[in-house]
Amino acid sequence: MQLNHYLNFQGEAEAAFTFYKSVFGGEFSVITRYGDLPPEEGVHLSETEKNAILHVSLPINEYTVLMASDINEQFCNPNSIFTQGNNHYISINLSASQEDEAKRLFNALSIQGQVEMPLEKTFWGALYGAFTDQFGIKWMINCQLEDI
């Protein structure tokens, strides 16, 4: 079983995932645009909407895929409202041997974002930090340094 994160953006999915790709490495396994959809009666897309991301997948490791799309009101439930920075966090948990990777990910992903809690040692024996990245996505980095 995999538990993956699916993010929604308002026209920033491509920029966000180009950034995430620069941090995590790898290649997109899928990237499709609204313009790739077959024509549908009653659906009229502007050139901007056609270029927006319908679906993008970025494998992070063998167990995790980060996925996203740009929302489009013609295809989304009209009662669902896009709210940037809701109460959802993406949590990355690393082991003590990955302390340098925890620092690298925190520093890279938080560029131009807002740090909520700096990456520092905690009372639960971990290196922990939280932030909202430049695209409004909330992240937590936890590197367990000691057994609890």
State residue 92's pLDDT score.
86
Overall domain count for the chain: 2
The pTM assigned to this predicted structure is 0.83
Q: 66 and 10: one domain?
A: yes
Q: 10 and 59: one domain?
A: yes
DSSP letter string over 61-117?
SSS-EEEEEE--TTTS-TT----TT-S-EEEEEEEGGGHHHHHHHHHHHTTTSEEEE
C-alpha angle 16/21/26, rounded to 5°? 155
Domain housing 139: 89-144
Judge whether 128 lies within some domain: yes
**pLDDT at 31 exceeding the cut of 70:** yes
**pLDDT at 90 exceeding the cut of 70:** yes
Mean pLDDT of 102-111: 96
Judge whether 11 lies within some domain: yes
**Percent of the chain scoring above 90 in pLDDT:** 64
**pLDDT at 107 exceeding the cut of 90:** yes
Nearest to 66 by CA among 15, 101, 29, 102: 29
